[in-house]
């Protein structure tokens, strides 16, 4: 999916919500555990309940990998089940030397045809550029993450700024706003402001709204650009909104509430 199509989806649905399918087999409603593929059954119900309110689904591969081959089968079925007009993210945070990065790009753009994959920047350009060669596909590179550990390196002095600032500027120079996005945590407003000074045009994948404490209104006010430029991810706040047989209805209501708030925030660009 290219940028124009993504913008069109955002405008059509009046939403920049990304639902994170961090589906943990130990947290599923009990009645699903008797099915052949509980993870897929859960995801299917969540997708049915939320697809009208979300422009993106993010599959956190770790939860599937931990289940071995069964998990990869659930992942593939889930990916195939997502409507084709919804942007898909393999949240895999891969990063390795060129010939290995080629294999990861093949994994998440070809074997499993996601629109995008999250990528770690530590190993530099040859670990990122293999993901930029696929038409209509995206690398979503870690910039400033929302976890406590982002203070260990990302927020520390690097050259004449901070490490995350150098990562944004340097990685942005390897690609374009048509094939590169960044993961930017919503935990501190002054960082969001600084990110938009450095990379005004790029789309940002923003975790940390909801369970991790970020505020949607603030994120939109500070970081929205003319193409919206935001995918705000909510995982637990949607998929585990309920825990019983009504889990899908609860997820529906949670996603709808986010979409309605987002519709108001999108007014300036509609």
- The contact set with a second copy (CB under 8 A) reads 22, 24, 60, 62-63, 65-69, 72-73, 76, 91, 93-101, 103-104, 106-107, 110-112, 120-128, 142, 145-154, 156-159, 163, 166-167, 170
For a second copy, which is the closer residue by CB, 13 or 94?
94
Closest approach, Cβ 9 to a second copy, in A, equals 26
**Rounded distance, CA 259 to CA 265, Å?**
10
User: Is 256 among the residues known to form the active site?
Assistant: no
- 53 Cα distance to chain centroid: 15
Q: Which residues contact 93 (CB under 8 A, 6 or more apart)?
A: 118, 119, 120, 142
Catalytic-role residue among 70, 93, 159, 256:
93
Closest approach, Cβ 268 to a second copy, in A, equals 32
Closest approach, Cβ 40 to a second copy, in A, equals 14
For a second copy, which is the closer residue by CB, 63 or 87?
63
Backbone angles phi, psi at 35, to 5 degrees: -75, 165
Q: Which residues contact 67 (CB under 8 A, 6 or more apart)?
A: 25, 39, 74
Closest approach, Cβ 169 to a second copy, in A, equals 11
For a second copy, which is the closer residue by CB, 241 or 262?
241
**Rounded distance, CA 102 to CA 216, Å?**
36
Q: Which of 211, 164, 212 is nearest to 192 (CA)?
A: 164
The answer to whether the CB of 53 falls within 8 A of the CB of 255 is yes
The DSSP 8-state label assigned to residue 128 in this structure reads H
The answer to whether the CB of 215 falls within 8 A of the CB of 186 is yes
For a second copy, which is the closer residue by CB, 75 or 262?
75
Question: Which positions are catalytic?
Answer: 93
């Amino acid at each position: 999916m290219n940028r124009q199509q993504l913008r069109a989806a955002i405008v059509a649905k009046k939403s920049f919500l990304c639902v994170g399918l961090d589906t943990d087999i130990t947290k599923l409603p009990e009645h699903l555990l008797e099915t052949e593929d509980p993870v897929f059954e859960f995801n299917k119900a969540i997708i049915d309940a939320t697809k009208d309110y979300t422009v993106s689904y993010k599959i956190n591969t770790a939860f599937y990998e931990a289940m071995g081959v069964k998990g990869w089968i659930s992942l593939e079925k889930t990916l195939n089940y997502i409507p084709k007009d919804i942007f898909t993210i393999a949240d895999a945070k891969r990063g390795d030397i060129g010939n290995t990065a080629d294999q990861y790009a093949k994994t998440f753009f070809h074997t499993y045809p996601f629109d995008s994959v999250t990528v770690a920047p530590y190993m530099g350009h040859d670990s990122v550029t293999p993901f930029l060669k696929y038409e209509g596909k995206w690398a979503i590179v870690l910039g400033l993450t929302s976890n406590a550990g982002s203070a260990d390196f990302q927020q520390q002095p690097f050259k004449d700024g901070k490490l995350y600032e150098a990562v944004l500027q340097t990685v942005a120079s390897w690609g374009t706003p048509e094939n590169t996005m960044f993961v930017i945590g919503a935990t501190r407003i002054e960082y969001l402001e600084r990110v938009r000074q450095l990379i005004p045009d790029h789309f940002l994948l923003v975790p940390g709204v909801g369970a991790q404490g970020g505020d949607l209104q603030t994120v939109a006010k500070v970081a929205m650009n003319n193409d919206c430029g935001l995918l705000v991810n909510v995982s637990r706040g949607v998929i585990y909104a309920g825990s019983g047989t009504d889990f899908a209805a609860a997820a529906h209501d949670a996603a709808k509430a986010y979409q309605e708030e987002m519709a108001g925030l999108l007014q300036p660009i509609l």
